[in-house]
Structure 1
Amino acid sequence: RVQVVVSPATADKPTGDVEDQARKRAASAHEELQRRLGSLAVEEASGRCECDAEEGSAWQAMMLLLEAQEKARREMEVRLGMEAHERAKREAEEKAKREAAERAKREA
């Protein structure tokens, strides 16, 4: 589970220093991750990170979020690939059944 916690006291600070910019990028990356992959993929992504600019963990949070996003993307690709394979298999089975029924109909 990946989580970014930004305290209200630091959320509106001017973007002058590197830590503050990194904290905002981490929060933005987390929002983008949730938007693109949905909350389920975010929940499945391993790890948890609490981002607090005063502790200087914003850069670490952003890196963990990027890693979690990549892992979730790979998992989503695998899941979509498996679904596509199952769908193709079902369609092939349905086509074979239709063709067999048509053959039986013609022969009868």
Structure 2
Amino acid sequence: MRTYARGMRRDATLAENLLWQAIRNNRLGGLKFKRQAPLLSYITDFACFGSKLIVELDGSQHSGSSSDLERDRRLEAAGFKTLRFWNNEIIGNLDGVCSQILYEASKR
């Protein structure tokens, strides 16, 4: 699973790269995020273990995905909150997305 996660880090989408530049190295409110982090039997796009917050970036293939709903349910049962954003939200409104992440983290 770790090898697969490394490959996903190398092949990141534009949206993943943009968000990573905004949140890496504790840049977003001092939150420590890991990219493509294995958790349970999943690989999360971004995980903040201190706040138990998962950030997932989705393309059109995730629209109405029942497997995503099951994944979110299992992560929630483990104490994590999953935030999902569309790729075009990251590209068009990165500041708004970062504000939403900060807001959710502050509630945890």
Q: What TM-score, normalized by structure 2, do the two folds share?
A: 0.29
Q: Which of the pair is proportionally richer in strand?
A: 2
Structure ID, larger Rg:
1
Question: What TM-score, normalized to structure 1?
Answer: 0.29
Choose between structure 1 and 2: higher helix proportion. 1
Q: Taking CA–CA contacts closer than 8 Å with sequence separation of 6 or more, which of the two structures ends up with the larger relative contact order? A: 1
